[in-house]
Structure 1
Amino acid sequence: MAARNSKELFEAIIFFGNKVVAKEMRYSEFEAVLDGVVGITELANREIYAAYVKITPSLKVHSLVTFQIEFNERGFADEDWNIPLRHLAENAGPGPDLGAGPIRLACRSQCSVSWYQRELWEPNQRDIDHFCLLQEAVTRNKLGLITDDELNTIPILSAPTPAPAQLNEPEIEVPLMCDPVDTSDWQSSQQLTAQSGSEKLRAQAGEFQAKVDLLIQRQKQTIQAMEEKYRVEIEQVKRAMRNEAQSYRHHGQDLEQQANHNKVLLEKMQARNTRLERDLIQAQEQAESHKDQFNSLKEEHLELLHNQRVADDDKTRLSIELKERLTLQALEMEEQNDELAKYRRANSALTDQIEGYQRQVVVHSDSTSSELAELRALIDQKQAEASDLKARWVSQSVDYERLSKQYDQASHALAESTQSLKSLTSASFKTQELRKTLEFQAQDLEQRLGESQRENEQLKRDRIEAEDNAVANVEVYEKMEKLELVFVAYHPGAGHISLPARQLEDYLDKPLSFAAQKCSVTLEHYKSWLVHYDGSECEQCGVPVKRIDTPSDYQIGVNNRCTKHRLDSGNVTQFRRSS
C-alpha cells in the first residue's frame, strides 16, 4: 500500500487463530485472494475468523467488521463469499474506545444489514480479548503502513545547502624554524577544493532529485494504472453481479409465480383427489351394495327358478293326472250315456210293449184269466224293470253331474296353473332382465372404479411431480439464500418488507401473517383493519367513519363503527377496573 494523504484511512485484513493473530494482509491483497488469483496455503481447509480494519495514519483503529470466511484444500477463498465489508463499515454502530475514541463496529449482534448477521461473529473481551490483539497488531505495523511521523520525517528534495566537506588536506611539511611561512597558496587551493566539492554535491543532489522525481512519477503512473485496472475490474464484477442478481431476481419472481401456480394446482389436485377418493369410496360402497343386491337377487332368482320348476313339475303331474281322470270320467260318461241310451230304448220298447199288451188286453178281454194273470205279472215285472232302469238312470245322471263339476273344477285348476306358469315365466323374464341390468351396472361400476384408480394413479404421479418441483424449489431457495438475494414486498400498514430467500417460502404460504407481525398485531386484528382500510364505514349501518392508517392504532368495535353503534371503551375500562 503506497503512502496516502493523512486524511485517508488504510484498509487491512487480519486473520485470527487460536488466541493469536494468524495472518495480516492489505485489502488489495485480500481482493486478489477473493478473485482467485492467489491462495493462502496456511489457511487451507479451514473456516477462519477474520476482521476488516480501517486504520488511521496514526495507527489507530477507526472501523472494524468481523466476518467468517472459508478456504478450500488449495487455500482459495469460497467463491460464493460476498460480504460488502466497506458498506458495513461505513454504516456500523458504535464500538469500544481503542485509543482514538469509539470505533465503528459491525458484528453479529450489531449489523446494519440483517441478512448478513449469520456471516459475522461476535468479538470477545473476556477469554480472548480480540480488540487488544487487534490493537497490538495494528501498533506493530507489520504491513509497513506510512504513519504521520514518517511523513513528517521524510526530507523535502530541494537544492540543499552542502555541508562543508572534509577535504583530504595534503601533508605539509611544517618547518621547525620560525621563519615566516607564505600561506596564500594554501588558502587558494583550499577555496578551489571547497568550490569544486560544492559543485559536485549540487550536481549529485540534482541528479538524485531527478531520479527521485522520476521514481515518484513512475510509481504514481503505476498506481494510477493499477487503480484504473482494478476500478475497471471492480466495475465489471459489480456489473456482472448486478446482472446476475437481476437475473436471479427475475428467476426468483418466476419461481414465485411458478410456486404459486404449483401451489394452486396442488390444492386443486388434492381437492380433486379427495373428491375422487370420496367418489371411489362411494362407488365401492355402491358396488358392494349392488353386488349384495345382485347376489340376493341371484339367490332369489335361483330359488324362484327352483320353486318354479318344482311347481311346474307338480302342476304338470297334477295336470296329467287331471287329464287322465277327465279322460277316464269322459269314457265312463260315454259308457253310461250309451247304457242310458240303451236303457231308454229298452224302456221305450217296454213301454211300447206294455201299451201293446194293454191293447191286447183290451182286445183280448175275453181271454182266459190265467193268461191275464201272466200278463199282469209280466207287466209288473216289466214295470219293476222300468223303475229299476229309471233309478239307475237317475243315479247315472247324478254321477254325470258330479263328474261334470269335477271336470269343470279340473279345467279351472288347469287354467289357474297355466296362468301361474305364465306369471312365473314373466317373473323369470323380469328376473333375467334385472340380472342383466345388474350385470350392466356392475360393469359400469367396474369401469368407473378402473377410471377412478387410473385418475388416482395420475394424481399420485402429479403429487410426486409436485413434490419433485417442491424439492427443486427448495434447492433454488437455497441457492438464492447463498447468493444473499433479498425480496421486497409491500403491504398496507406495514410498508415494504425485506424478505431473505430463506423466508420466501413461508411468506408465500402466509403473507398476511408477515404483515401482521411487522405491524406488531395479531392476524385477526390485521384482517379486521384491512377491511376497515379498504372501506371505512360502519360495519352495522354502513355510515362512513374516519379511517385509521396504522393497524396498531386501530381498535376493533370502536374505529370500525359509528358513534351510534360504537362500543363504549370508557365503560369497558371502568367495568374492568371495578372488577
Structure 2
Amino acid sequence: MQIKPQTVEAVLFFNDGGVCKEMLYPEFEAVLDGMVNVPEFADQQMRVAYLLINTRLQIRAAVFFYLDFNDDGSADSGWNIPLRSLAERTGRGPDLGAGPIRLACRSQCPVSWYQMHLWDPQTTQSTNHFLMLRDRVKRNQLGLLVEEEMPQTVPTERLQMVAEENWYAADPAKQVATRRAEKLEQEQRLKAAQLIKQQRLRIANLEQQREADINRLRELAAQQQAKLQDEIAQLRRELQQREQSAEELRAQLSAQAEGFQKTREEMSRQLRALEQNSRTEAEAARAQFDDELQRQVAAAVAELKEQVSIRDVELAYRNELDSDLQAEIEQLQKQRDALAEQSGERVLERLSALGVTFMAYHPGAGHLTIPLPDMARYQHNPIAYAAAKCSVSEEQYGQWVQHYQQPTCVATLTSGERCNMPLDKVEAPGRFQVGHSNCCARHRSQNRLRTGS
C-alpha cells in the first residue's frame, strides 16, 4: 500500500498590502461557527485562500474565495463552500515548488454555482498572489511540523526482475543520453504546459478586468445619460411652465386691454351724452371731480406729513440713544485702560518691592535674573534677550539651541531628506559656528568648496 504524504490545511487572508492574517483550518472553522470573531475584518468582504501544505512547507492545492464579515466581526452564517471538495476536483495551476498545484478560482471552478463566490489571483510583476502565498508558507509562522526530504524506498513487492538478456546494456552512454533527452523533453513539456496555463489564467484575469472596466464605463455612461435626460426633462418642464405663464400673461393683457378699451368707449359715450345733455352739468361734474381730487391729495399729504414727523421723532430718539451708547463706550474704554495700567506693571512693581526676583532659564545662558526695567524687553522677545546675555546674535542663538537639542547634521541630501549624522555637541553658544558646528565633515567640505568658488 502506498503511503501518502501528510498535508495540513491552512487559511490566509488578503488585504490591499498582501497577506494580513493566517490561521489553521480548525481555527477557521471556529470563526465560521461564530465561536471566534475577527474585529479587524468587521463590515468587510475579505479575499481568502484555502491551502493544502505538505510536510516540506510546499503548497499542493489552493482555493481562492470571498468571505463576508458582519459589523461585530463575525463571519457570515450563510457562507457554505466545500473547500476540500473543490481542492480535490479542480484543475492544475502553477508550480510552487512541489509540482503543479490544484487551483480553484473564478476562472477555473469545477462547480459553476460556486464561481461567483471565488476570485482570481493576480500574477502581474508588481502583485503576484502565488508568490506571496509561497513566501508566507515558507516562513512557517503557523508552526507546522517539517520533515526532511528522504529518498523514497520501493516496497519489495513492487520490485521486478529484468529478463536475463537485458541485464547488460549494449551501450550505457547511449542509454544515459537517451534517458537524459527524454527527461529534458518531459521537463520542457511540463514547463510549456505550466507557462500556457499561467498565460491562460493571466488572459482570463485581463479579460475579466476588461469586462469589469467596460461594465463600469457603461454604468458611468448610463448614469451620465440618465442625468442628462433628467436635466433635459427638467428644462422642458421649466420651458413649458414659462410658456404657460407667458400665455396666461398674454391673455391677462388682452383682457385688460379689452376692458380698458370698453371703459374708454363707455366714458367717451357718457361724455358725449353729457355734452349733448348739458354743458353745465359737465362743468359741475368736472368741478366735483376736481374737489374730490383736491380732498384726496390733501388727505394723502397730511398722512405723509404725519409719517415724516413720526420718522423724525424716531430718528431723534435713535441719535440720542447712539450718543448715550458712544459715551458709555468711551467710559468703558477709559475704565479698561485704567484697569490695564493697574493690573500688570503695578503688580510687578509690588512684587519687586516685596523682594521677589524674576528668573528664567535658557540653554547656554543658564538661570537669568531679570530686573524689573528689563521685564518689558524680555516679554517682547525672550530669545533675543537670552542671545544678548550670551553675546551672540538672535539667529546664531536660535540655531545653537536646535543643535544643542538635536546634535545632528542639518544639511539636506539630494533626495530632499535631512542628513542627521550625529555630531559633537557644542556646549556654549559663543563657540557655535553656523555651517560648521551643525554639519558633518562631508557637508563642511562642500560648504567650504561653495564658499571658495
TM-score, with length taken from structure 1:
0.25
Whose relative contact order is higher, 1 or 2, with alpha carbons under 8 Å and at least 6 apart?
A: 1
TM superposition score normalised by structure 2: 0.32
Bigger radius of gyration: 1
Structure number with higher helix proportion = 1
